[in-house]
Amino acid sequence: MVIAVLLLVGLCLGSFVNALVWRLREQELETGKKKPNKEYLKQLSIRGGRSMCPHCKHELAAKDLVPLLSWLSVRGRCRYCHKPISAQYPLVELITAGLFAASYLWWPVAFSTSQKVIFVFWLALIVGFMALIVYDLRWQLLPNRIVYPLGVVAALLACVAVASAGDPIKALLDTALAVLIGGGIFYALFQFSEGKWIGGGDVKLGWLLGLVVGTPGKSFLLIFLGALFGSLVSLPLLASKKLQRTSTIPFGPFLIVGAIIAYLFGTDILHWYRDTFINL
């Protein structure tokens, strides 16, 4: 029953992610014009705006807003202008739903009262992470309008985690070190390369993810996994010449995937590494 509810909520919030990302981008483009269309900006409001087709801007009816099923029912095309609607929409909905269910199934500790609160914050972070992944993949940007609210959620999660820890002082020090490692390494790279190796958005994301994972070991792990996944994707593209050496690829999505794995499975991975390579 819990899994079914999480899947349903995940699908709905995945749909929200798609709408949020598109609206934020449209707002950015519209406000960048010399004469922004105030009426259009009002329609793009996150709180009060109505959902619309990204092509013809036709206001969508209730039957067009059912996650996954609406896209399937019209075979991936707008019901009104018949232009194709990107497969991004159902994919984001499915991935968000899958992450909600997977987080519950593989939650690393028992669900005490404090852990239930942390779990709710974690689900909110998943929604924000999905929005950052989509935005960064499409436009190679990690907008502050998503990063900063996520920072607040991450801080709340960290506060509950520290307050409910067996040794709050140690937990607080671990969290501080995790933040220092998560953001500090990227800040050093950003300063040393003058922004050529890594973007400022990745530095902010590093601070945020360090705050989320909460321990130095997991912070190092998320960086390692992010670099590993980035290499596994970019090296074949370079070899096939689909990507040039001067090309830039968004690093944020790889870091976020690394952070999710580090948060859910980091303790087991670090124990395995210690037992396999250190305690020989």
* Cβ partners under 8 Å of residue 204, min gap 6: 142, 144, 147, 151, 183
pLDDT of residue 98: 97
For the chain, the C-alpha Rg in angstroms (whole number) is 20
Q: How far is CA 105 from CA 93, 221, 237, 248, 271, in A?
A: 19, 21, 34, 36, 20
* 38 and 98 share one domain: yes
Distance CA 106, CA 6 (A): 13
Q: How much is the pTM?
A: 0.94
Distance CA 76, CA 85 (A): 5
pLDDT at 96 exceeding the cut of 70: yes
pLDDT at 18 exceeding the cut of 80: yes
Mean pLDDT across the stretch 130-139?
Answer: 96
Domain of 45 in residue numbering reads as 1-105
Mean pLDDT across the stretch 42-68?
Answer: 85
- Nearest Cα neighbor of 75 from 64, 62, 85 is 85
Torsions phi, psi for 59 (to 5 deg): -65, 130
Question: Per-residue pLDDT tens for 65-83?
Answer: 889 888 988 888 998 998 9
Say how many domains are in the chain: 2
* 13 and 119 share one domain: no
pLDDT band with cut points at 50, 70 and 90 for residue 100:
very high
Count CB neighbours of 106 within 10 A: 10
Please say which residue of 41, 71, 105 terminates a domain.
105
pLDDT band with cut points at 50, 70 and 90 for residue 280:
low
